[in-house]
Chain A
Amino acid sequence: MSAATIAVEVLVWVAVLTCLICCLGIVVMKDFFERLHYMATVSTVATVALLIAVVIQQGWGQAAIKMSLIVVVLFLMNAVLTHATARAARVRELGHWQPAPDEKIEGLDQITEGRHQR
């Protein structure tokens, strides 16, 4: 068994195990916003591991280019979808997504101070 074959097998199983653990995290976590974070690992670690495995197995050909496209789409998609979903949940809960005047948000003071200084 060559080094490339071993590398491909390791990368495929890393991707599969990452997906399994993150899917379990979605079920185990109680809070909605905690659940959202588990999508990020799948869209970064698992997809990049599969891309490297495809490149090792087939080289930079048609498969690697298509896989790169899928990685880019999933990477960008996850960022936008996570924001949109979290925003939708907050709007459903409060009616708006901006912080309420009496709401305690960690680090919000530093952000607003930075804006005033500019």
Chain B
Amino acid sequence: MNVWLLGSSVLLFALVPCGIASFRGDVMERLVGLEMAGMIVTLLLVMLSEGMGRVSFYDLGLALALLSFGGGLVFARFLERWL
């Protein structure tokens, strides 16, 4: 197991506080937990693809970064006015 795979295993524990933040508090506070989780998982995918030595897997991280950006914006927009 190289340092990238070990680091990604430790990084999984960063999702626990994000989950806690997403399960309690106001709806806007939950959204912060979701946005943070999106960023953490993006970095996690990057570290996994580097650890496994597959450059093509970087596309997963890039796709997740773009999609979590769109998703976060849509959530923020809807929570601002309609929900």
Contacts and interface: CB of A to CB of B under 8 A. Distances in A.
Interface of A: 8-9, 12-13, 15-16, 19-20, 22-24, 26-27, 32, 35-36, 38-39, 42-43, 46-47, 50, 54, 57, 61-63, 66-67, 69-70, 73-74, 77-78, 80-81, 84-85, 87-89, 91-92
A66 B73 CA distance: 23
Contact of A16 (B10, B17, B62, B68): B10
A84 B77 contact: yes
Q: Categorize the interface residue count of chain B.
A: 35 or more
B69 A26 contact: no
Interface string B64-77: 01101100110011
B35 A81 contact: yes
Contacts of A35: 21, 29, 32
A92 to B, nearest CB: 6
Contacts of A69: 62
A81 B47 CA distance: 23
Contacts of A88: 28, 76-77, 79-80
B7 A85 contact: no
A79 to B, nearest CB: 11
A42 B17 CA distance: 14
B40 to A, nearest CB: 6
Contacts of B3: 8-9, 12-13
A16 B7 contact: yes
Contacts of A27: 17, 20-21
Interface string B5-20: 0010011011111101
A89 B50 CA distance: 37
A116 B9 CA distance: 55
Nearest to A27: B17
Contact of A23 (B17, B29, B46, B65): B17
A17 to B, nearest CB: 9
